[in-house]
Amino acid sequence: MHDIKAILFDTFGTVVDWRGSLIGDLGAWGAARGLVVDWSGLVDAWRGAYIPSMQRVRRGELPWTNLDELQSRSLAELGPRFGLPASLSAEDRDYIVRGWHRVNPWPDAVPGLARLKRHFIIAPLSNGNVALLVNMAKHAGLPWDMVFATELFRHYKPDPETYLGAVSLLGLAPHEVMMAAAHNFDLQAARALGLRTAFFPRPTEYGPHQTIDFAADSDWDVVAEDIEDLATQLAV
C-alpha cells in the first residue's frame, strides 16, 4: 500500500448524491415554473437508461457518444411518460440535462478528498464527460488534481482502456493506482488490471430502489465507511 501514488474515484454515487441532488434541483426548478412532473420517477428511469445507453456504445452499436448526449436522448424518450411537456424549450431541456453537472457531494466527500489530496494525486475516473465533471467539481467543490473523463479514451467503464488509460497518462504502474468506488463491479474490473481497490458503501444512492452494493463483495484492499474513513485507513 505504500506504493500508492494516485487514487481514482468513481463519481456518480461514489462521490456525489446524484439522485437526491437531481430530484431536489429539478423539483424546485419545475415548481417555480408550475410544471407537474414526477421528478423522482423521471430521475430513476433516467438513471435506469444510463447503463443500457452506454452498453450500446460499448458494443459498437452507436459511434462514440458522450454522456451529456446520451442523457439528452434518454430524456427525450422518457420525459413524456413522467409529465415533461413536449413544448419545453431547448434551453429548458438543456437545463435539465445539465442537472447532472450540478449534483452535490456526500457530506464526507470534500473533507475526505482534501485530506487525500495532500498525499496522493486524486482524480475522478468517471463515465461523465469532461465538461460535466469539470462543472460538477466547480459546483461541488471537489479538489481534483486531474479530471479523467472516460471520454478522453472514447470508451466507457468497465472497458479496460479507461483504467489503463488513466494509469498510463499518470506515468504510473497499475499497482501504484487505487480505484475507489461504491460499486463492486467497478473494482472487479480495476483489480483484474492490477490496480489497488477501495470500497465504501453508499446504501442510499438509489433511494428505496437500491438492490446491490450494500457491502463489499470481495476482499478489496481497503473497505471503508466513506471517503473520510478511507483517508484515515490510508493514514493521512
The residues binding its own copies (CB under 8 A) are 68, 121, 129-131, 134, 137-138, 144-147, 149, 151-152, 169-172
The answer to whether residues 163 and 125 touch, using CB atoms and an 8 Å cutoff, is yes
Which residue's CB is nearer to its own copies, number 68 or number 226?
A: 68
Looking at the Cβ atoms of 73 and 188, the one nearer to its own copies is 73
Nearest-approach distance from CB 212 to its own copies, in angstroms: 32
> Is the Cβ of residue 37 or residue 67 nearer to its own copies in the bound state?
67
Q: Least distance in Å: CB of 129 to its own copies?
A: 7
Instruction: Give min distance, CB of 98 to its own copies, in A.
Output: 9
Query: Phi, psi (5° rounding) for residue 39?
Result: -65, -40
Give the integer Cα–Cα distance in Å for 65 and 100: 16
Q: Which helix (H) or strand (E) holds 26?
A: helix 18-32
Distances (CA, A) of 158 to 92, 110, 146, 164: 32, 25, 20, 11
* Sign of the alpha-carbon dihedral angle for 95, 134, 175, 231: negative
The answer for residues whose C-beta is within 8 angstroms of residue 218's C-beta and 6 or more apart is 184, 187, 188, 191
| Burial category of 218 from C-beta neighbours within 10 Å (exposed 0-12, middle 13-18, buried 19 and up) | exposed
Residue whose entry in the numeric block shows the C-alpha cell 465538461: 131
Q: Is the Cβ of residue 88 or residue 130 nearer to its own copies in the bound state?
A: 130
- Shortest distance in whole angstroms from residue 177 CB to its own copies: 12
Considering the complex, state which of residue 34 and residue 171 has its C-beta at the smaller distance from its own copies.
171
Which residue's CB is nearer to its own copies, number 46 or number 144?
A: 144
The CB-of-131 to its own copies minimum distance in angstroms stands at: 3
How far apart CA 99 and CA 121 sit, in angstroms, is 27
